[in-house]
Structure 1
């Protein structure tokens, strides 16, 4: 593939409308929350090319995208969807426990009764 088919990961995430700004895309990559072909990256300058599979961890979602093309600009959402193929597994139906445990800040003390019940329901104990 020609070298012009490669693009920096922060630019691609911005053009594909995964995040709102390029600086947020750079922070996401530097925090190690982006994997390229199952390899964790820590540089915003990492190059991606068509065919690469990206696993992106956002707040409570995990996105899996296959890169189809490099972006040339941050256009409308319809144009951004042409840059990737969404491989994200479907969300579990309501009522089923999610794959992610209930979130609690470290050092926030003992769980409340409501938080304890949510954790037990997630584990299938309650």
Structure 2
């Protein structure tokens, strides 16, 4: 897997149209409302600059 496959979580949320603006996506991540599961380990994302890759599993707190 290359770094070209990776994308910032806030950019991905905005491009996937979960949020109308990137700033809203950033705030959602900063509030700790996104969890990432990669290779069986779950972590809470707290920085919008964190990278996600294909096959990552995301869970959103509503």
TM-score between the two structures when normalised by the length of structure 2: 0.89
> Which runs of 5 or more structure 1 residues have no equivalent in the other structure?
59-126
**Consecutive aligned runs of 4 or more in structure 1 exceeding 2 Å deviation:** none
Match of 1:77 in 2: none
> Which runs of 5 or more structure 2 residues have no equivalent in the other structure?
none
1:19 positional shift? 1.1
In terms of fraction of residues, the more strand-rich structure is 2
Match of 2:43 in 1: 39
Match of 1:10 in 2: 10
Root-mean-square deviation (CA, aligned residues, Å) is 0.7
TM-score between the two structures when normalised by the length of structure 1: 0.45
Q: Which has the larger radius of gyration?
A: 1
Aligned residues: 58
Distance 1:17 1:31 in 2: 19
